[in-house]
Amino acid sequence: MTMDSTVLTTDLTEDATRYPLDPLSGAEIEAAAAIISESDYATPTLKFVMISLAEPAKTAELTFTGAQVPRQAFVTMYDAAAKLIYEAVVDIDARVIDSWTPIPGRFPSYLVEHMTGVEEKVREDPRWQEAMRKRGVTDFSLAMIDPWPAGYYGAGDHYDNSPLICRPLTFMRAAPSEHGYARPVEGLIVTFDLDKMEVLGIEDHGVVPLPPTAGNYDPKFMFDENNRPAFTAFRDDVKPIEITQPDGPSFTVDGWKVQWQKWSLRIGFNPREGITLHEVTYTDRGQTRPILYRGSLSEMVVPYGDTAPTHWNKNVFDMGEVGMGFSANPLTLGCDCLGEIHYFDGTVNDSDGNAVTIPNAICMHEEDFGISWKHTDFRTGEVEVRRSRRLVVSMICTVGNYEYGFFWYFYNDASIEVEVKLSGVLTTGAVEVESGEQPRWGKMVAPGIYGPNHQHFFNFRLDMSVDGAGNSVYEVDSIPEPDPELNPHHNAWITQDTLVASEAAGARDWNWSTGRYWKVTNPSKKNELGIPVAYKLVPKDVVPVMVQEGSFIYDRARFLQHNLWVTKYDPAEKFAAGDYMYQSADVQGLPEFVADDAPLEDSDVVLWYTLGAHHIVRPEDWPVMPCAYTGFHLKPIGFFDGNPALDLPPSPPKACHGH
């Protein structure tokens, strides 16, 4: 940490004036739960899955300034005795239930107690204990048991034939708090009934010795084969970096509203999505211009490409089956975030309806980002240069072994970048060291330990409002000049715009050979050149999808089959793989959304962009993985009449130190 860093935290009192898009406070969460618990709908076995803001309907003005909107909660619940999900909309101010809807044939995402209670129950099971004894394990207290979501793997897993289940995997620590993922228990699979919180069955596919080498990254656990300390010292040539802003940060915060230079946005948070962004606008020559009405992570999935018994069924929807908000870390100044920081606490619920605060769940700060623009007049020697700066809004989530960082960057050239950072620990498998076996569907990272081939995919929902709600989407390709008479030197090329006219054509794929991107235009707003104003979505690090037709995950994650989907705005369509995908076999989400083939031209459009990380593991990813990065950009393209960063002030020379 730096002594000069400043920490500010959004801490709204319960009687503060709340904007209609502000996330629910702890008092509002508990009020919504109490209203339901005191109603005739309540049962002794009813549990609260997620309690979040029921966002009000979009207005024509794309803002709620001055509007009086009742505070409503959207509540999902699960009754294990009835095997039924319920959805409710609760008017918190009037203390009434506005709607109550049973959702048959679906399973909920995890309840909070599932993440901790499963481990205790598995340890007590005599069948699991016997399997562990076969592997030479007698101290069961050192076992780590991760409650992996069950997914869907055949008729027995579907709703009519199954309780709510998970399939826990076991790892062994050598000492309390030691790195357990270095000792995966290969071939041992537990099927666990989450309704009754009991073990249903044990599969043991044969003993593989526990890997012999510790994989510790904490110095207090790092020893060599002779039990001597293997960690000697940290690097001594890393000099301190201090980020200071003597006059304070350039942003201002009013509740959940943020203003930074010419940007204005509202931050939200809920148990499923984590960070949500609302009413993103940019002020251009005194005019406030909307760009993005709502942006959020819509879904993510991690399909594994290993047919081994312990690994083939790993296909987790970490957001829809667990919840990014529930998984958010309390962030630490100087470690996760550096500089002049403003934190936003996140508030979620437990299964009894109590509010749970995650302190510092969202971090916001400014970063220098190198040169924004520069030119040297070589004739006169005159130099003009401006430095780029960005506003960073981020959260980091831990889901089992992995960490996911979600970063929204706002630049002072009016561009937006979304970046996902992947770190944490690989999910591991074991092979016999003596055999010299090399895994077919993964790579070795240490003696006896391998990481299976896998991918991570993240779908972001971008409810666009480029200078208003009436937008059109075009696919833009760069191609050689098609008319030979106009291309006598064989060097000319053009850009070709293809209108995405309706949802039937709304599933689009990136094309490397044409430098493809997509732009969202406002046909009713023109720049000084007479061209409709627009923002473009620029892909980054596009990866191939290895999920194959015929696999169980194929239908459940159809959003992976195209890089971009375009739909007409529907407030009920928020999640790319559907509302409830746990143990579900059928196609949900985006394929359903586009089935009515709604017209898209000059309408309220939503972009759904899928980005991926293709993970063929390497020894350098072990024992903890350096950050991998993936993301995309939103950039103005004719939205302005010139460079929007032209008015950036020059940096004072004293800020640049030379030696």
How many Å apart are CA 88 and CA 80, to the nearest integer? Answer: 17
Dihedral Cα 114, 119, 125, 126, nearest 10 deg: 170
| 622 neighbors 426 (Cβ within 8 angstroms) | yes
CA atoms of 158 and 332, how far apart (whole Å)? 42
**Is the C-alpha dihedral spanning 332, 338, 344, 350 positive or negative?**
negative
CA nearest neighbour of 584 among 320, 296, 308, 310? 320
Q: Which two tokens stand for residue 137?
A: 């394990």
Buried b / exposed e over 597-629, threshold 16 CB at 10 Å, is ebebeebbbbbbbbbbbbbebeeebbbbbeeee
- Using H for helix, E for strand and C for coil, what is the string for 376-421? ECCCCCCEEEEEEEEEEEEEEEEECCEEEEEEEEEECCCCEEEEEE
Helix (H, G, I), strand (E, B) or coil at 34: helix
Q: Which two tokens stand for residue 541?
A: 């690090």
Tokens of 54: 């029921």
Give dist(CA 539, CA 510) in Å, integer: 8
Handedness of CA 265, 269, 270, 273 (dihedral sign): positive
Return the closest-CA partner of residue 150 out of 353, 280, 315. Answer: 315
Give the neighbor-by-neighbor strand order of the sheet with 72-79. 46-53, 72-79, 84-91, 96-103
Three-class DSSP category at 186: coil
Spatial separation of the C-alpha atoms in residues 299 and 579, rounded to whole Å: 10
d(CA 370, CA 387): 6
How is residue 297 written in tokens? 């992570």
Q: What H or E segment, with its residue span, contains residue 291?
A: strand 287-303
Angular region, 578: left φ>0, alpha ψ -120 to 50, beta rest: left
- List phi, psi (to 5°) of 219: -55, -30
Q: Which helix (H) or strand (E) holds 523?
A: strand 517-526
**Closest to 293 (Cα-Cα) out of 111, 147, 453, 471:** 471
Closest by CA to 576, choosing from 561, 448, 248, is: 561
* Unique residue bearing structure tokens 């890997």: 211
Active site residues: 318, 402
